[in-house]
Structure 1
Amino acid sequence: MKIVLAQPRGFCAGVVRAIEIVERALEKYGPPVYVRHEIVHNRHVVESLKAKGARFIEELREAPPGALTIFSAHGVSRKVEDEARLMALPTIDATCPLVTKVHNESRRYVAQGRILVVIGHAGHPEIEGTLGQIEGKAHLVQNEQDVDGLAIAPDAPVAYVTQTTLSVDDTRGVIAALNRRFSDIQGPETRNICYATQHRQTAVRELARVADVIVVVGARNSSNSTRLREIGEQAGLPSYLVADGGEIDPQWFRGVNVVGVTAGASAPEVLVDDVVEALKRIAPSDVSVLDGPEESVSFRLPAELAL
């Protein structure tokens, strides 16, 4: 059996930065530190940080008075920021800089008097944070049908932003529907879309050209990992989302010659290695890596944690 790894795969720069923020905060201030929501959507990452002294909470009231609190990579609403100030909680913001860019764009469009449309998944923490960063009403759309249902005049000034874990391909149809519907509309350039999401989706499509089965390493509550599995299925291949090698089912690979393996942006490479070892136990395997872009993006840490 041949195992082919996608390139790129796994951690993106925003995830690397968020995890490093928690680790450095633990080193500098000592445990425990409190993190609102999972720092990234991966159980293995969360458990590893718990073992070092991080405590994960969903509401700020769960943090003791004066406890250092970190906002996750997904970003938070202004209400959460205000609540932290009222509680006098010292905070460090681990929001991905690309998510922060979406927040800033949203506020700029609203300040220009435009009606804001946010493209994304209802209930996703990034979307909740983005909607909560905007003064006044914003409209959430998840698909082209939602665009048709918007109660906005066709000639009204409109602007849109998108969830960062959606790629250009994911949003193309919705953006086209918005442009058909509204005569005065603005939105970010496609180069402002999250590079990591686009790269990983493109890599899965390339993987589907050579593989018989696709395995995506990632968490089930990870939007970008779930999308990678869907892309494999859309290419006509059996595609499976697994947390680690323990979830590999040998039945999936009967008669299979080539297994394609990739990982979502919040899945560490150690879990990819675990899956590869599980596959090798099923059949003797050669491992290769597809050609793909080498990512060199990195984001600076908050000033209080910089070396």
Structure 2
Amino acid sequence: MDRQKLQIRLAAPRGFCAGVDRAIQIVEEALGKWGAPVYVRHEIVHNQHVVSRLESLGAVFVEELDDCPPDRPVVFSAHGVPKAVPAEAERRNLVYVDATCPLVSKVHVEAERHHKAGKEIVLIGHAGHPEVIGTMGQLPDGAISLIETEEDAQAFEPKDSANTAFVTQTTLSVDDTASIVAILQDRFPGIATPHKEDICYATTNRQEAVKAMATGCDLFLVIGAETSSNSKRLVEVALRAGATDSRLVASAADVDWDWFDGVGTLGLTAGASAPEDLVQGLIAACRARFDIEVEHVTTAKETVTFKLPRVLTAEV
């Protein structure tokens, strides 16, 4: 009996970005330097498969510093933390390593610069996301106003419309953010903008790859976690760019194979915190069921790397 033919369009770039690579390596290096257990405040990156592997090596994930004993090191997640967190770690004399992505740290620095210049700051982002909590926590309460939607941008009323600035979460939809920024710039022509776009290169590259290949895809699968902002945006981008259907899955185990009824072309990518073995696992699961052909769609080459914190590389 002939098997259903399935063409898989495989996006590149996909999966781990430099910030995620660095954060995972920081936990691994901390375990190598200090031994287990090493505590990690919040998921180091938003992917349970990554978290589970690090737990097997001796990492212990907690939500607050109160859950960390005084005699063990703690790592802060890639999403960034409010200033109060390292301040509390220092007060308790904890050894800590900050794994905040350097591109998130750049947004923190921008926000502080605008605040020192006396500007009223708008943060475009999603309420409750750890990155947003971390960025807003760089400044005193009330110094940053959060805008999530175009409606929020229309309704925002600054104290001084001629003295405003905006920054953004790094993992947003490029197109959605552009629409919000356009409204703000139309309403407040003098609003200060980031020196360089805050949405990170990896988020942008992954969205551009999806846009380039979504048209003609009967189904588009994005491997990533429900808590991963950049992964959820890829699902939305695929639908807007022409995919008939688009879904987020944590791994091949979460696929409902009924989705493949009538599917001739599958688009496949992975969010910036999803490991490549999950991608290959899904391709293998497809190969076991269908007569597959894999087409690689490459829209950019990524060569970015970030240095590890000095506390891990310095000689004892």
TM-score (norm 1): 0.96
Q: Which residue of 2 aligns with 1:246?
A: 253
Aligned to 2:94: 89
Whether the aligned pair in 2 keeps the contact of 1:248 and 1:278 (CA below 8 Å) is no
Q: 1:228 aligns with which of 234, 237, 244?
A: 234
Deviation at 1:192, TM superposition (A): 4.6
Correspondence 1:178 to 2:184: yes
User: How many angstroms apart in 2 are the aligned matches of 1:237 and 1:296?
Assistant: 32
| Unpaired stretches in structure 1, ≥5 consecutive residues | none
Q: Is 1:297 aligned to residue 298 of structure 2?
A: no
CA distance in 1: counterparts of 2:41 and 2:176, whole angstroms: 28
- AA in 1 matched with 2:187: R
Q: Distance in 1 between matches of 2:211 and 2:191?
A: 31
Residue in structure 1 matched with residue 263 of structure 2 by the alignment = 256
In the other structure, the counterpart of 2:213 is 207
2: CA distance between counterparts of 1:39 and 1:99?
14
1:42 to 43, 47, 67: 47
Q: Which amino acid aligns with 1:211?
A: C
What residue is the counterpart of 1:61 in the other structure?
66
Tell me, in whole angstroms, the C-alpha distance in 1 between the residues paired with 2:198 and 2:169.
11
Tell me if the contact between 1:154 and 1:181 (Cα under 8 Å) persists in the aligned partners: no
Distance 2:239 2:198 in 1: 27
The two structures have a TM-score, normalised by structure 2, of 0.94
Cα deviation, 1:166-207, whole Å, max 9, x if unaligned, reads 143231011111112214310114545300000000111112
Equivalent in the alignment of 2:3: none
Contact 2:14 2:272 in 1 (8 A): yes
SS in 2 for 1:271: helix
Partner-residue secondary structure (3-state), 2:70: coil
| Cα deviation, residue 74, structure 1 | 0.2
Whether the 8 Å contact between 2:123 and 2:146 is mirrored in structure 1 is yes
Determine if contact 2:38/2:72 at 8 Å carries over to the other structure. Answer: yes
Give how far 1:291 is off: 2.5
Superposed, 1:110-149 pairs within 5 Å as 110-136=115-141, 137-149=143-155
Amino acid at match of 2:215: R
| Contact 1:250–1:282 (Cα < 8 Å) also in 2 | no
Aligned with 1:219: secondary structure? coil
User: What is the match of residue 273 of structure 1?
Assistant: 280
Deviation string, structure 1 residues 74-128 (Cα, Å, up to 9, x no partner): 0000111211112211100000000000000000011111001000000000000
- Displacement of 1:281 in angstroms is 1.9
Aligned length: 307
- Alignment correspondent of 1:286: 293
User: Could you tell me how far 1:248 is from its partner in structure 2?
Assistant: 1.4
Partner residue, 1:51: 56
Pairs within 5 Å for 1:13-24: 13-24=18-29
Q: Aligned partners of 1:109 and 1:274: how far apart in 2?
A: 46
State whether structure 2 residue 204 is matched by structure 1 residue 198: yes
Deviation of 1:154 (Å): 6.0
Q: Aligned partners of 1:183 and 1:271: how far apart in 2?
A: 45
Residue by residue over 1:3-49, the C-alpha shift from the partner in whole angstroms, topping out at 9 and shown as x without a partner, is 11001100000000000000011011100000000000000000000
| Runs of 5+ unmatched residues, structure 2 | 1-5
CA contact (8 A) 1:122 1:140 kept: yes
Secondary structure of the corresponding residue to residue 184 of structure 1:
coil
Distance in 2 between the 1:127 and 1:103 partners? Answer: 10
User: Which moved further from structure 2: 66-75 or 188-197?
Assistant: 188-197
Q: 1: CA distance between counterparts of 2:193 and 2:39?
A: 36
Which amino acid is the alignment partner of residue 232 of structure 1? Answer: A
Aligned match of 1:109:
114
- How big is each residue's C-alpha offset from its partner over 1:222-243, in whole Å with a ceiling of 9 and x where there is no partner? 0010111111222242111111
Sequence identity of aligned pairs in percent? Answer: 49
